[in-house]
Amino acid sequence: MTQNTAERVKYVRTQAKGFEINQNDFAKSIKISQSLLSLIEIGKKPLSEQNAWAIEKVYGYRAEWLLLGRGPQRISSDPITKDLKDKEQIWHLISKWNLKEPIRQLLTDLSPVERDTVITLIQVLVKKK
């Protein structure tokens, strides 16, 4: 079905919402030009990691799958369960660190992808000590 990166990007654009999104709207949603999207979809320009992460954030299709064709296509087949799991993990970490309320609120306001990134970064920094 989706043999290469170009085909996977086009698949997301044409199937992600259950209907086809035109190139202009899709490009705007991930903050690139329509002409760049067109070149990516025909394989003349590579999909950057930054653009793959933008597609993951907006449409829920994993950057690793978009770039390499590996792993599950979607972030989670059950976003409600994933969101609850994320919140449990965040609150567990927050309670261990005894953070003040403003920091707690900032973490809960992030998207699941952004929270995962922040949590991973914090865990890496903690391990360096």
What's the token pair of residue 110? Answer: 């992030």
Task: Provide the residue ranges of all domains of the chain, joining segments of one domain with +.
Answer: 5-68, 79-128
Q: What rounded mean pLDDT belongs to the chain?
A: 80
Which residue do the tokens 């919140």 mark? Answer: 87
What's the token pair of residue 127? Answer: 């391990």
Q: What's CA 121's distance to the chain center, in Å?
A: 16
pLDDT in tens, 58-91: 888 989 999 999 888 888 644 444 555 555 666 6
Which residue do the tokens 């992030």 mark? Answer: 110
- Whether the per-residue pLDDT at 13 is higher than 90: the answer is yes
**Whether 97 contacts 103, CB under 8 Å:** no
pLDDT at 43: 95
CATH classification of 5-68, choosing from 3.90.180.10, 2.30.290.10, 1.10.260.40, 3.90.79.10?
1.10.260.40
